[in-house]
């Protein structure tokens, strides 16, 4: 890809982001309810675990402050990815099903990239902000080295990519199974699996949630990294899966585009 083309894509993405922010701010009631829902979302999650920790000291080896860190990380990643994808991937599903993808394929931007930045819901970023605050609060409970902090940031990126990859892959199954029912709803209820410590999974659950649909690797690795509990093997295994999923996404996207005939597929 040439520098000029990259620069052009960057300018388009910036313009899309700007329009997303303007759109959000024009609905002040949305911002207000966004703040309330963000607070409730993370508040109820914390309350849920607090009630459990009133009765036990650890959950599968995770202490209260480590679990709090995990909740903060999950909420940060979830808020960020939701802001980018909550409107775009359902729209992608709709466009594939209704045969509207042609218009996007003709735009001077990679279509996969377009469906990340097409319409950014900045209200969702409030979740991320609260998540960051929880991470900051939880990090006061332990000392964090610079290397752990760097690893944490690297794993956050990995978690975001994995989050996107799983949702994207699920969305583009529309090329082959163009049903108009609940893909997004299913993803939204399943993604919440990511907020629990991955060490709770044993046997088949471990294979399913750590490799086949690696939802357990969205937030846990970052929380392990910052608390200094992540092994090198865990680091490489997570990133290997991230890369595999990105490749699978691209492979099926290209396959899907070949299958797409612009008339309902």
- Residues interacting with another protein, by CB under 8 A? 27, 29-30, 33-34, 36-37, 40-41, 44, 47-48, 51-52, 55-56, 59-60, 123, 177, 179-183, 185-186, 189-190, 192-193, 196, 199-202, 205, 209
Residue 1 or 51 having the CB closest to another protein: 51
Nearest one of 141, 4, 136 to 62, comparing CA atoms: 141
Residue 96 or 109 having the CB closest to another protein: 96
Residue 9 or 90 having the CB closest to another protein: 90
Radius of gyration from C-alpha coordinates of the chain: 19
Nearest one of 93, 253, 84, 83 to 184, comparing CA atoms: 93
CB 113 within 8 A of CB 13: yes
Whose structure tokens read 């990239």?
113
- Least distance CB 172 / another protein (angstroms): 16
- Least distance CB 55 / another protein (angstroms): 5
Residue 30 or 110 having the CB closest to another protein: 30
Residue 4 or 44 having the CB closest to another protein: 44
Distance of CA 191 to the CA centre of its chain: 8
Q: Give the DSSP H/E element, type plus range, for residue 111.
A: helix 111-117
- Least distance CB 131 / another protein (angstroms): 15
Return d(Cα 108, Cα 119) in angstroms, integer: 17
- Least distance CB 193 / another protein (angstroms): 5
- Least distance CB 162 / another protein (angstroms): 17
CB 120 within 8 A of CB 80: no
């Amino acid at each position: 890809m040439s520098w000029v083309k990259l620069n052009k894509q960057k300018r388009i993405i910036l313009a899309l982001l700007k329009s997303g922010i303007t759109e959000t701010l024009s609905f002040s009631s949305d911002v207000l309810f966004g703040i309330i829902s963000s607070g409730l979302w993370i508040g109820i999650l914390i309350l849920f675990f607090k009630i459990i920790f009133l009765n036990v000291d650890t959950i599968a080896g995770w202490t209260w402050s480590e679990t709090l860190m995990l909740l903060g990380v999950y909420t940060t990643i979830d808020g960020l990815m939701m802001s980018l994808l909550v409107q775009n991937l359902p729209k992608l599903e709709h466009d594939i099903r209704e045969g509207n993808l042609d218009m996007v394929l003709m735009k001077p931007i990679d279509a996969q990239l377009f469906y990340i930045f097409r319409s950014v819901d900045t209200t969702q970023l409030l979740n991320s902000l609260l998540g960051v605050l929880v991470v900051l609060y939880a990090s006061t409970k332990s000392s964090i080295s610079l290397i752990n902090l760097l690893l944490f940031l690297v794993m956050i990126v990995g978690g975001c990519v994995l989050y996107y990859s799983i949702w994207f892959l699920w969305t583009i199954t529309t090329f082959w199974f163009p049903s108009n029912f609940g893909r997004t709803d299913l993803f939204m209820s399943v993604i919440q699996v990511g907020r629990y410590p991955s060490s709770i999974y044993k046997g088949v659950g471990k294979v399913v949630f750590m490799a086949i649909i690696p939802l357990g690797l969205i937030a846990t690795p970052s929380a392990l990294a910052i608390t200094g509990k992540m092994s090198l093997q865990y680091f490489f295994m997570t990133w290997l899966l991230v890369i595999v999923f990105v490749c699978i996404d691209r492979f099926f996207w290209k396959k899907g585009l070949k299958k797409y005939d612009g008339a309902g597929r």
